[in-house]
Amino acid sequence: MSEVPGGDAPKGAASVEIKRRLATLRYVTDGPEHAHITVRPEICARCPHSFCTFVCPAQCYTRLDGKLLFRYEDCVECGACAIACDQGSVSWSFPRGPYGVRYAFG
């Protein structure tokens, strides 16, 4: 795991609460050929900060042995990674209908 500046992911009770809430969501996952977010590994390999790993509430981005791992399947479509990545790696769009996350209100 590479060391990057910029803060820590939620820990303890906050992390448990986020995971509990994420578990209430439902997803209709599109195939990888239609992934609504893609990243460019050659850019991520030389990224100085990995901000995406700190801002994604669904932990879609992780660093393992220095390599960035990304999975679009758990995305809650908040858009934070597209804003946080100032390196030009993230290509972001909403999923095709009827795919993506389903929120239940009430």
Residues that bind ligand SF4 (CB under 6 A): 37, 39, 43-44, 47, 50-52, 55-58, 60-61, 68, 75-81, 84-85, 87, 89-90
Q: Which is nearer to ligand SF4, 35 or 106 (CB)?
A: 35
Helix (H) or strand (E) segment spanning residue 37: strand 37-38
CB of 101 vs ligand SF4, minimal distance in Å = 8
CB of 19 vs ligand SF4, minimal distance in Å = 14
**CA atoms within a 13 Å half-sphere pointing along the CA-CB vector of 104:** 7
Cα dist from 81 to 13, 31, 103, whole Å: 24, 21, 20
